[in-house]
């Protein structure tokens, strides 16, 4: 096999959405699997809608996901001369012709064909048979024209072999002569895409099934330009629960890669989730490292049926697909603690909570704290919200546990400061000694130990649940615990 060369050619008309990210991921995995190259090509020929902000967003999104490329980014507009030259070459070789039909004429013909209930309502080839003299005469009149590709008149079917869908066939007679250059002289996507793929020596075109309507026409363009066909692999689309294709317009920011970056998702967790939208390893396994995914990935395991993005707008519990949240939780719990430490550092720094000693003399404490609290967290943001009390003395107390575990027992206004005094007097401040002191005090007061323990948890962490309370005490340290338990009066003061 020649060197594998694949490409990801996004249009910079908005953010990088998860459908596009999945396409980039599959191309990246295939290139890595075969020691090939991934080319990033920005298809920016839509001048009215393309923006620099979108270009930056696409590149930032790919970099955040860890999808690197080997060549580019190339910009399609930089090769405009190549596209025009190819069109003129097709004209000169008789594979294309100038069409002077106006939009109004084409629409009238289409309406007439539909009224007559004709099967073929496409372009009728009016200008296909113009003589060179007739073309020159129309040009002399200053009539605008487009360039149409001249579909060969052949019996039978055009076909290509798709790595996902198998053999795809379409009758030549069903393909109308299609426009490749607009009347303003600018080539269309159909032609530009093929010319760029030929120039970039693309061997495999891995893209969504929504591009299949273009593929048969592009096969004709490859043939007319004298270039070998790449291998095509058309992936299934990703739909929502209403069987609508996920899109920026219909679903908003929840389908944007930046949505997950800004909410503290782990990049590879998102990639792992995306890989299972339309691909499977042939067994029930779901979690793969980058290296493992590269090793097992193959085009033959891409599904022929559409995948489902399980998103319910307005769901108070799941703001995105529950599977994605579960995968992110899995990686939070299981990933290397040092790697997690770097990710949490960025979150703490953004919130002004990062202490440089966490990277030096307190690094053991920092990593041990992350290991203690990460099991109940959903995203990296939880370390600065739910877990804020471990890194700052200013933190919110959840109203529900405050009412249930603290305000329900007004005596805690006295009991917790008394417990603080006992903790301060301990010879050693350990999980064992603090637990013994807490239970002894509960016995003396004639209350269940849970009253003190749950009250402590709420006051010290602001949360209803978490790790073992006595591990929390030793993690926070004697000084913080005593100070926080000694000053609880304000919690019982009416607002």
Active site residues: 248
Q: How far apart are CA 274 and CA 288, in angstroms?
A: 12
Largest Cα separation within the chain, whole Å, is: 111
Contact 464, 400 (CB under 8 A): yes
Contact 9/62 with Cβ under 8 angstroms? no
Tokens of 193: 């895409």
Alpha carbon distance, N-terminus to C-terminus of the chain: 75
User: In terms of Cα–Cα distance, which of 335, 484, 477, 489 is closest to 412?
Assistant: 489
Closest Cα partner for 299 from 236, 247, 229? Answer: 236
Q: How far is 36 from 3, CA to CA, in rounded Å? A: 6
- Token readout for 264 is 């503290």
For the chain, the residue count is 495
Task: Tell me the β-bridge partners of 234.
Answer: 207
Residue pair 309/255 in contact by the 8 Å Cβ criterion: yes
Whole-number Å distance between alpha carbons of 207 and 27: 8
What is the SS3 assignment for 120? coil
Q: What are 142-146's contacts with CB under 8 Å, separation 24+?
A: 143/100, 144/100, 144/183, 145/98, 145/99, 145/100, 145/183, 146/98, 146/99, 146/179, 146/181, 146/182, 146/183
Q: What Å distances lie between residue 312 and 247, 316, 352, 377, CA to CA?
A: 14, 9, 34, 22
Residue 431 dihedral angles phi and psi, to the nearest 5°: -60, -40
């Amino acid at each position: 096999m020649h060197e594998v060369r694949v490409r990801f050619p996004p249009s910079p008309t908005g953010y990088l959405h998860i459908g596009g990210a999945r396409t980039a991921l599959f191309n990246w995995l295939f290139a890595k699997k075969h020691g090939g190259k991934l080319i990033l090509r920005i298809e920016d020929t839509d001048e009215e809608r393309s923006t620099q902000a979108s270009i930056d967003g696409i590149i930032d999104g790919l970099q955040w996901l860890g999808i690197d490329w080997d060549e580019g980014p190339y910009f399609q507009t930089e090769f405009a001369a190549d596209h025009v030259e190819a069109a003129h070459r097709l004209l000169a070789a008789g594979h294309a012709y100038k069409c002077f039909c106006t939009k109004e004429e084409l629409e009238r013909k289409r309406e007439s064909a539909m009224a007559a209930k004709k099967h073929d309502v496409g372009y009728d080839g009016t200008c296909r048979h113009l003589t060179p003299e007739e073309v020159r005469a129309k040009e002399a009149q200053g009539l605008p024209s487009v360039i149409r590709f001249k579909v060969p008149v052949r019996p039978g079917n055009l076909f290509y072999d798709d790595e996902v869908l198998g053999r795809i066939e379409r009758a030549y007679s069903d393909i109308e002569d299609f426009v490749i250059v607009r009347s303003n002289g600018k080539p269309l996507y159909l032609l530009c895409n093929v010319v760029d793929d030929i120039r970039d020596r693309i061997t495999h075109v891995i893209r969504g099934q929504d591009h299949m309507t273009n593929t048969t026409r592009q096969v004709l363009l490859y043939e007319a330009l004298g270039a070998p066909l790449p291998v095509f692999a058309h992936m299934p689309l990703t739909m929502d629960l209403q069987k609508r294709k996920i899109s920026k317009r219909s679903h908003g920011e929840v389908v944007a890669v930046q949505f997950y970056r800004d909410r503290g998702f782990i990049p590879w967790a998102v990639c792992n989730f995306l890989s299972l939208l339309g691909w499977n390893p042939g067994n029930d396994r779901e979690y793969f490292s980058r290296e493992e995914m590269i090793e097992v990935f193959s085009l033959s395991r891409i599904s022929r049926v559409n995948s489902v993005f399980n998103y319910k707008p307005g769901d108070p519990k799941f703001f995105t697909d529950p599977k994605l949240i579960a995968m992110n939780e899995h990686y939070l719990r299981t990933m290397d603690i040092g790697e997690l430490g770097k990710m949490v550092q960025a979150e703490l720094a953004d919130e002004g909570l990062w202490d440089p000693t966490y990277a030096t003399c307190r690094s053991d404490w920092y990593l041990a704290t992350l290991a203690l609290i990460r099991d109940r967290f959903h995203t990296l943001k939880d370390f600065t919200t739910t877990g804020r009390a471990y890194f700052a003395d200013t933190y919110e107390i959840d109203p529900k546990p405050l009412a249930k575990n603290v305000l329900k027992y007004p005596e805690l206004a006295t009991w917790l400061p008394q417990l603080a005094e006992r903790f301060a007097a301990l010879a050693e401040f350990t999980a064992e000694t603090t637990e013994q002191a807490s239970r002894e005090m509960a016995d003396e007061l004639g209350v269940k130990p849970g009253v003190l323990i749950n009250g402590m948890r709420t006051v010290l962490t602001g949360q209803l649940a978490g790790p073992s309370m006595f591990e929390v005490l030793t993690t926070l340290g004697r000084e913080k615990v005593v100070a926080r338990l000694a000053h609880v009066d304000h919690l019982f003061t009416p607002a």
